[in-house]
Amino acid sequence: MEVEFCPSCSAVVNTNYLYCPSCGARLHKGPDFVEVLDRSLGALEVRQNQQLLHRLDEMLCRLATLEEALDAFEAVR
């Protein structure tokens, strides 16, 4: 386990820690929160759009089936 000193309170801390357990100061710069949030929301939006397109495909497929059934019904009459 590697250790370092907290730049804020000088406590000895594990280098893997993102924040000092003694004073709460940030020890290492992690990814920017807004950046992470934007990326996650962007991925979510893409997935939602894919689901919408998939649903639209299903509806078009069902519509085609209904149209065929209607054509067959009209042909019988």
Question: Which amino acid would we find at residue 41?
Answer: L
- Residue from 5, 12, 16, 25 touching Zn ion (CB under 5 A): that is 25
Contacts of 22 (CB under 8 A, 6+ apart): 6, 9, 11, 13
- Alpha helices per DSSP H over the chain: 33-76
Part of the chain binding Zn ion (CB under 5 A), chosen from 14-22, 28-36, 37-45, 64-72 = 14-22
Part of the chain binding Zn ion (CB under 5 A), chosen from 15-23, 35-43, 48-56, 62-70 = 15-23
Residue numbers 31-60 binding Zn ion by CB under 5 A: none
Other C-beta atoms closer than 10 Å to the C-beta of 20 total: 19
Binding interface with Zn ion (CB under 5 A):
6, 8-9, 11, 20, 22-23, 25
